[in-house]
Structure 1
Amino acid sequence: MSFKTPASLLSPALHDSVTPLDLELAGEKADALARAGRKAEEALETLAGARGVDGTPIEALRHAAADAVFCLMIQRELCGLRNQGDMIRRYAIPADVMSRVGIVRRG
């Protein structure tokens, strides 16, 4: 993915401190954050859709959603976004999913 330099970073004073590699890394971080957000949204939608259906392994869906949310949280922290409260509200993450975030399961 190519990343175009913002006009605010083109000033001569900042030109020496921001390299093309820095810009490429920023673009990759943003892309990874977007992918993690989409995966979390998909997992949460799948879980929400399965709540009314009988016979669905709801625990497996909760764990999958918790794993996707955990990946999103880590990616947000890598991008410098430390407050997870706004993410929890934006994605409407249920408490039963948040209680499983970060838990390592065997099997």
Structure 2
Amino acid sequence: MREAAAEQVDQEILEEKAASLTRAGRRVETALKAIRAYDAGEQPDADRGELLDEAARAVWALLIQRELCGFRDEKRTIEQYDIPRDVMVRVGRI
């Protein structure tokens, strides 16, 4: 009985980790999309510095969340999301 309860709790923890990583990843994607739209001239009234700051916060949160889940390979995350260098500079990782 206890083993089944422990397994259920473990499963719920895994599901929450996956959900939190998904949310963090979506925030990064949204922030990077805004930068790319600005760079393409689609958001001329936006402030690129503010967009970079927002992306850096989202990336930092994702990297921390991934680390808490046991994923420590930042390079893979940077490649997966195609995170620009200027964002990583603001994160403080370059």
Q: Compare the two structures and name the one with the higher helix fraction.
A: 2
Do the two structures share a fold, i.e. TM-score over 0.5? yes
Identity over the aligned pairs, expressed in percent? 43
Q: Which amino acid aligns with 1:32?
A: S
Structure 1 runs of 4+ aligned residues shifted over 4 Å read none
How far apart, CA to CA, are the structure 2 residues paired with 1:58 and 1:49? 10
Q: Bigger radius of gyration, 1 or 2?
A: 1
Q: Who is 2:75 aligned against?
A: 85
Q: Who is 2:7 aligned against?
A: 19
How far apart, CA to CA, are the structure 1 residues paired with 2:29 and 2:7? 33
Q: Which amino acid aligns with 1:62?
A: L
How far apart, CA to CA, are the structure 2 residues paired with 1:30 and 1:55? 36
RCO (CA 8 Å, sep 6+): is it higher in 1 or 2? 2
Deviates more, 1:66-75 or 1:49-58: 49-58
What TM-score do you get using the length of structure 1 for normalisation? 0.75
How far apart, CA to CA, are the structure 2 residues paired with 1:50 and 1:20? 45
What TM-score do you get using the length of structure 2 for normalisation? 0.85
In the TM superposition, residue 22 of structure 1 has moved relative to its aligned partner by: 1.2
Between the two proteins, the alignment pairs up a number of residues equal to 87
Consecutive unaligned residues of structure 1, counting only runs of 5 or more, are 1-14, 103-107
Consecutive unaligned residues of structure 2, counting only runs of 5 or more, are none
Q: Deviations over 1:36-86 (max 9, x none)?
A: 001100000011111233342110000000000001101111111000101
Q: Tell me, what secondary structure is at the counterpart of 1:21?
A: helix
